[in-house]
Structure 1
Amino acid sequence: MADRMLQFVRLSQQTPDKRTASARKTDFGEIYQRFTAERASEQSSRCSQCGVPFCSIHCPLNNNIPDWLKLTAEGRLEEAYEVSSATNTFPEICGRVCPQDRLCEGNCVIEKGFESVTIGAVERYVTDTAWENGWVKPPTPVREVDHSVGIIGAGPAGLAAAERLRTRGWKVTVYDRYDRVGGLMIYGIPNFKLEKEVVVRRAEQFAAGGIEFVLNCQVGRDISLEEIRAKHDAVLIATGVYKARDIGGPGADLAGIVPALDYLTASNRDNLGDSVPEFADGTLNAAGKRVVVIGGGDTAMDCVRTAIRQGASSVTCLYRRDKANMPGSMREVANAEEEGVTFAWLSAPEAFEGEDGRVTGVTATRMHLGLPDATGRQQVEPIPGSQFTEGADLVIKALGFDPEDLPAMFNEPGLAVSRWGTLTIDRRSMMTRLPGVFAAGDIVRGASLVVWGIRDGRDAADQIEQYVLAQQTPAIAAE
């Protein structure tokens, strides 16, 4: 075991062993192996314990990363877990799905010259070890308090707020329209990145701690927002964003052109053992098909890698910019390339070809990068006469997500929205224009990362508590 830090001058970076592409593309198991105790200790000891920890600064949760790396290097894993979980509701999930190459590891002080500390892999190892040893406990409060909160949405933001308030003794009820807890963590992220047992065991812990879940409950259909407000001292809206951005053009209505989330949800439900008619009849199944995925973010990478595992005959990703400018994680791109995905960089779809009402190809134009726009990002411009057609039996649109029309869905016109459709809140209090109704996560900031959802949920919990206590103070004083 390592007995001191700053070992980056002696030890090279070693990432967890990765299953071979030929093996992993035949199933949906996670592709990275877990660190051994010795490897986790050695890699943690590479931390420079710098005076200004840029890894923490660039983590949305400001995790105390150098502290739990040092504890891991010393073999003090239970303490490492306590430090990690103090700032992070789901460290085992962040260790798996966070784009560490863009956040903590990408800003590691030793990254230039010595390669970064493998923070994500250590985080996963510490938390998985904590689960195995029974160190992870339900959010049981020291004492109960007479406060109640209703949370709409069982995704990262909603669950983070639920856990934080429950540990403080609040009565917490989480309402969700789906039949399982987890939001996109359960239905949007494929198993090869996040096995569903990891999410399920957290949900079970939360239920054991006294958090009540009301599932298959659509606000505005099964219960009104007004009814939820009447039941609780405060309400948090953390629904996420689920409306798929669309792409037009000739042939856009052909059969075989599907939204990314529909496709991923069908795959995840099938892996969970659910009956999925659209998967069984081939509508949302890539087996034996030429698949084209449009988009360049992490959702697009999830789609192309899912299609490979379903046995697609070919998988091509069309993205209108080049590799250096794509928004997805470079690690995910590398994994996709290893598994046999073809990338058509600088290619912008224009139309869809079809036969007998079904898609047979995507017509695209080659692009080149021009001058930077006002944001500093290079503009894309078409190359005249460069059209080509990519054959396709299944086209998956992975162009991002926008908010649903919550004021209409909830039948609550008092909910103000921005020009992007996200809920408008007071940035300090996180409250909407409805007194006692707060909002957090993607429904406020737009489609983002799990880790940002966790941060927003924890912050919202603090603001909710402050608001309710302030509301009750005058009544207490009057007594």
Structure 2
Amino acid sequence: MPNVMLKFVSLDQQQPEKRPAEIRKADFLETYRRFSDEQAKTQASRCSQCGVPFCSTKCPLSNYIPDWLKLTTENRLDEAYALSSETNSFPEICGRICPQDRLCEGSCVIEPGFKSVTIGAVEAYITDHAFQNGLIKPVVPSQEQAQSVGIVGAGPCGMAAAVVLRQKGYKVHIYDRYDRAGGLLTYGIPTFKLEKEVVARRQKWLEESGVTFHFNVNIADKTGEGTLSFADLRAKHDAVFIATGVYQKKEVKLLGSQLNGVVQALDYLMVSQQTDKTLSSDMDAKGKDVIVVGGGDTAMDCLRTAIRQGAKSVKCLYRRDKANMPGSMREVKNAEEEGVEFIWQAAPEAFIGSERVESIRALRTELGLPDAGGRQTVRIIEDSHFTLPADMVIKALGFDPEPLPELWNDANLEASKYGTVNVDKQKFMTSIEGVFAGGDIVRGASLVVWAVRDGQDAALQIAKWLKEQ
């Protein structure tokens, strides 16, 4: 049989077709179209099948990337999906929103001479094809267990844990404060990056697999309408898994922070996606000069959302340079194409206005030696003030954990000084026997792919602990 791989020497890299900026910025549909069967097969064939696949080692899930690329090229798509889903509960989601340029594709050994294999798009294609052709069946455990697990949070970490626990036969109940599954996949990430139907079909699949969702339920320090106490939750189940994520917005205490028109990124993104509701003046960017403060993927989401709402101008204020941005370079490029102006090495000093914000006063910065995370440190340049007009300011500075021990009235649940829940790093067990935790509430705000990894790994430890009881 002829070798169908190693075509990188004769075939150029091809990304999925990107909808033109002038068209896509007028709607909220996904930026990239999906690969056709032939495109996926052709691009997968560019894989070099190297002896040490750095794409896999760089992937938080250690996906068998070269293997399912080869299966895709050979049109063995049922096997490709089986292998892809063996390490990743939601490959179609990670394929869409993972920063592949910083992970698998950024580690491809044929880069830079031949440009990397288009891994993310093929990953999404494999699962989309499997759904469309009825290859994805509900989970049917070989043996049902009597024990049940209560999961707090229907985001990627909680859902990933549910997949593994159902495969092992445990009864799974997921509790979430919102009315749909997905967490920030549904309420934080805009549809131009991830259409909500992609998340909704996974919710349906989990329900068909026997997972019970309890929506509009908030875990609190007491039981009441729409709430469930942490103590009662523990009493209902043999084990509990905390996968709440981090929703507490980081604040910057600057003059004018209380002005109308100065809003938090998550509030803005959540409201802007509720298309059945009329936006309030503070949350509508139409006709306004908008400035987003921050440089991560959430900032990119806000910038591109403001463009689609019809903002007069959209600027990003970031205290470091482009090379030190934490967000995906692909998203930065998309934002630039859509008309966003980036103002590098600038930090806000004050928000100016009487009742409503009218401008931002900022200072120039210079960069020093790299910090512990590898990014260059920032120093404010004295007397470098400048002012930018702004009718709306969106603060996209990241997220912190909510104080769960306080909110849930359980001092036995130990947290770090940063508010993250303390766990045994191997067992995912918290300071309370039978209560486990993973994802952002343990590691701090991070990537979706790490949340999936933690959910899967924690589920294995939960199952092991339950067997010993």
The verdict on a shared fold, with TM-score over 0.5 as the criterion, is: yes
- TM alignment of 1:374-453, pairs within 5 A: 376-453=374-451
TM-score between the two structures when normalised by the length of structure 1 = 0.95
2:255 to 241, 250, 253: 250
Secondary structure class of the residue paired with 1:47:
coil
Encode CA deviations 1:374-426: one digit per residue, 9 max, x unaligned: 65532222223221111111110000000001011111111111111100001
Distance in 1 between the 2:369 and 2:42 partners? 46
Q: What secondary structure, in the 3-state scheme, does the structure 2 residue paired with 1:207 have?
A: helix
Q: Map 1:193-232; keep pairs closer than 5 Å.
A: 193-220=193-220, 221=222, 222-232=227-237
> 2: distance between equivalents of 1:245 and 1:63?
33
2:150 is aligned to 150
Number of positions where the alignment pairs a residue of Structure 1 with one of Structure 2: 464
**8 Å Cα contact 1:423/1:432 also seen in 2:** yes
The aligned counterpart of 2:352 is: 353
Secondary structure at 1:370 match in 2: strand
Q: What SS does structure 2 have at the residue aligned with 1:180?
A: coil
Q: Does 1:289 align with 2:294?
A: no
> 2: distance between equivalents of 1:131 and 1:379?
46
Partner Cα separation in structure 2 for residue 195 and residue 237 of structure 1: 26
Cross-structure match for 1:16? 16
Q: Deviations over 1:214-239 (max 9, x none)?
A: 11001115111111111111000000
Q: Is the 8 A contact 2:168 2:463 kept in 1?
A: no
CA distance in 2, matches of 1:219, 1:375: 34
Q: Deviations over 1:115-134 (max 9, x none)?
A: 10000010111111111001
User: Comparing 450-459 with 369-378, which one deviates more in the overlay?
Assistant: 369-378
Q: Retained in 2: the 8 A contact 1:249–1:351?
A: yes
Which residue in 2 is equivalent to 1:70? 70
Distance 1:308 1:38, change over 3 A: same
Structure 1 counterpart of 2:48: 48
AA aligned to 1:180 is R
SS of the aligned residue for 2:228 comes to coil
Give structure 2 stretches of 5+ with no counterpart: none
Find the counterpart in structure 1 of residue 102 from structure 2: 102
Match of 1:161, SS state, is: helix
1:335–1:130 distance in 2 versus 1, CA, 3 Å: same
Whether 1:325 aligns to 2:330 is no
> Structure 1 residue 39: deviation in Å?
1.1
**How big is the shift at 1:325?**
0.5
Cα 1:130–1:373 shift into 2, 3 Å: closer
Is contact 1:3–1:74 with CA below 8 Å preserved after alignment?
Answer: no
Q: In the alignment, does 2:435 pair up with 1:470?
A: no
- After superposition, the CA RMSD in angstroms is 1.3
Deviation at residue 371 of structure 1 after TM alignment: 3.4
Counterpart amino acid of residue 389 in structure 1: T
Write the deviation string for residues 346-380 of structure 1: whole angstroms up to 9, x where unpaired.
0000101013x110111100111123446553222
Structure 1: 5+ residue stretches without partners:
472-479
SS in 2 for 1:379: strand
Which residue identity does 1:58 align to in structure 2? K
Moved more, 144-153 or 189-198: 144-153
Once residues 441 and 44 of structure 1 are traced to their aligned partners in structure 2, the CA distance between those partners, rounded to angstroms, is 31
- Structure 1 equivalent of residue 453 of structure 2: 455
Q: Which moved more, 1:150-159 or 1:218-227?
A: 218-227
Which residue number in structure 1 is paired with residue 178 of structure 2? 178
**Contact 1:3–1:73 (CA<8 Å) still a contact in 2?**
no
TM-aligned CA distance change 1:374 to 1:436, over 3 Å:
closer
